[in-house]
Amino acid sequence: MIDVAERFETKTVHIGHAPLRGVQSKSTPIYQTSVFAFEGLEEVEQFYAGEGEYVYTRNGNPNQAELANAVARLEGAEAGVSAASGMGAIMAGLLAVLAPGDHVLASHEIYGGTYALLHNELSRFGIELECIQLGQMTKLADHVRPTTKLFFLETITNPLLTVVDMPYWIKEAKSLGLTVMVDNTFATPYLVQPISYGADLVVHSGTKYIGGHSDVTAGVLVGAQPTIKRATEIIANYGASLSPFEAWLTSRGLKTLAVRMERQCENASKVAAFLRDHPAIEQVYYPSPTDTFFFSRKKQGAMVSFVLADESKIYDFYRALHWIKLAPSLAGVETSVSHPVTTSHRAFSEQQRKETGITMGLVRLSVGIEAVEDIRLELDAALGK
């Protein structure tokens, strides 16, 4: 692979593309094929001896590899693998580390889909989840058992946008012999690279900022080569492979990650300030510079959450929006809103939502690249109604 300049903005544009068999295309072709042809049985044997790259797209494809390798390089990881969704990537990472009877510690604010996977699905295989409130403790040791194998946290939590002292907690978990897995979807490697602080695995829903255009579903897991090799086998065996076209779209979106995040973070900061002074808003959730001291840039992300002063008006608020759409996802170039209680955190019980602070009046706002004045006007009009 051709070396490129070290600056993040240049890497996002140029890393990844490696033409096959001497075809020097400027942009990456879509290898829309289910299988790859061989010139003879000797080549087949070479593949299974570890000397070939591709045989069947479920097991690997150049577009899948380009995306995974690009994210791995941006995160500073040894290797990466792509998956059909962020949940597919999380599943592969968990199963690459865990075995029946193992115990997982996780932040109590984890994404609802991650909670459902661990609590509803992997529990059937004898894997136990324990959610802990990192903001109310300083040590993990009291929660660690002989069977505890993995510690899972998010750089910016969904949906309350809490930022814990990730470097501290990674160091704490590693001192106890735990594997650390970090969901870096909301921050992206543009803001922070958890591998540099000692994380073993980093996962992304590529559907969000990596792809960036609300037109793809993808996931990426990066980390050390041995673990990623095992995760790659799991993705193939469970049928969670990413399609070539989706991989190609996500790789294309990745090239503009830096410029998108720059604009979206700037807009989010201004929108958060506007919402804090709005009479219809009771509370605004947005990371502060003191929370994000370990981020590589002086930015707090592109997500803002807020609570209506009168939660009985929540249906009216969503109906009053015009061009800002209600959608159960985030991170596209267009601004959108979602309702965590009825979408991302449906898997939480009412008691869990109450303990976490996910109330009926909570709105999660994904800030896009539009003119910030228009975003504020649209929100102000809907809140006024």
Question: Catalytic residues, which ones?
Answer: 58, 111, 183, 208
- Is residue 104 within 8 A of residue 121, CB to CB? The reply is no
Three-state secondary structure call for residue 248: helix
Cβ neighbours of 294 (radius 10 Å):
16
* Region label for 248, one of left (φ > 0), alpha (ψ between -120 and 50) or beta (otherwise): alpha
| Beta strand ranges found along 155-198 (DSSP E) | 179-183
3-state class (DSSP) for residue 69 = helix
Please answer whether residues 365 and 271 qualify as being in contact, where contact means their C-beta atoms are separated by less than 8 angstroms.
yes
Q: Which two tokens stand for residue 106?
A: 């996780």
Tokens of 39: 């010139």
Q: How far from 353 is each of 109, 174, 308, CA to CA, in Å?
A: 9, 30, 16
> Contact, 284 vs 305, CB < 8 A?
yes
